[in-house]
Amino acid sequence: MDATKKTEANQQASKKQLEKTSKFLSFVLRHKPEAIGLELDPNGWVDLAELMEKASPEISLDRDLIEQVVASSDKQRFALSDDGERIRANQGHSVKVDLELTPKEPPAVLYHGTATRFLPSILKEGLRPGQRHHVHLSTDVETARSVGKRHGDPVILCVSATEMHLKGHLFFLSDNGVWLTDEVPPAFLRED
Ligand code: HQG
């Protein structure tokens, strides 16, 4: 193997390692901390040292790897505390945590990507949070499309966010730029 190929192979391995670590962190920090005997604090934080210890031997984590995952996450899924000693997921939890988000005035229109097979139910019931705490919305169509593709043939819904806001619905902006709201009734939805 020549030097360039070797470097590429190393980067590839490390990208895989980052992905695997990111999936593991999503699993324990958003959904099942108890799977490794971990407890999130009320705001979703865990001590990095405790996380590393409890994650082994399931997965080998070190501070450098975790910091790389936090820095390289395409959607900035995780945050480190200011002192670097604790970590939490920025959003997407199914376990109960208080992310201490304050309500914020949303842009006029937000987007939600879903699969065409969910449309009849969504247009009837509106958008529901399902397993998550909130319905997730984005400011751009491209993000919505890639979120929708995860579920099948994608379709984009436009949400009349200002109208909802004026009617008293609360919106929150997560640290990684995802707009969150409790539900979107059908009256505020239309297909893009
Ligand atoms: C659909 C990823 C039928 C909803 C992404 C969605 C996002 C309904 C699915 C984040 C419905 C739930 C969240 C109704 C909603 N009837 N279906 N009444 N209301 N749905 O994965 O928004 O990679 O829980 O349209 O980037 O797809 O995890 O939510 O299709 O930001 O960081 O039910 O997850 O981020 O699916 O994705 P999900 P989502 P991460």
- Does residue 14 register a pLDDT over 90? no
Q: Specify whether the CB–CB gap between 86 and 47 falls below 8 A.
A: yes
Q: By percentage, how much of the chain surpasses pLDDT 70?
A: 93
Region 48-67: what's the mean pLDDT? 92
34: Cα separation from own chain's centroid: 19
Distances (CA, A) of 132 to 26, 84, 92, 94, 167: 13, 27, 6, 5, 23
Mutational pocket test of ligand 1: of 76, 111, 147, 157, the residue with most ligand atoms within 8 Å of the beta carbon: 147
What was the pLDDT predicted at 163?
98
Nearest atom within ligand 1 for CA of residue 138: 31
pLDDT tens string 84-141: 999 999 999 999 999 999 899 999 999 999 999 999 999 999 999 998 989 999 999 9
Please report the atom of ligand 1 found closest to the CA of residue 126. Answer: 18
Ligand 1 centroid, distance to 94 Cα (angstroms): 12
**What are 163's two structure tokens?**
């109208």
Region for residue 121 given its phi and psi (left: phi exceeds 0; alpha: psi -120 to 50; beta: otherwise): alpha
Round to whole Å and give the CA distance between 122 and 103: 24
Question: What is the DSSP track for 90-106?
Answer: SS--SS-----PPB-PP
How confident is the model at residue 15, as a pLDDT?
A: 86
Rg value, the chain, Cα: 19
Ligand 1 proximal residues by C-beta, below 6 Å: 75, 77, 92, 114-115, 118, 121-122, 125, 127-128, 130-132, 136, 147, 151, 178
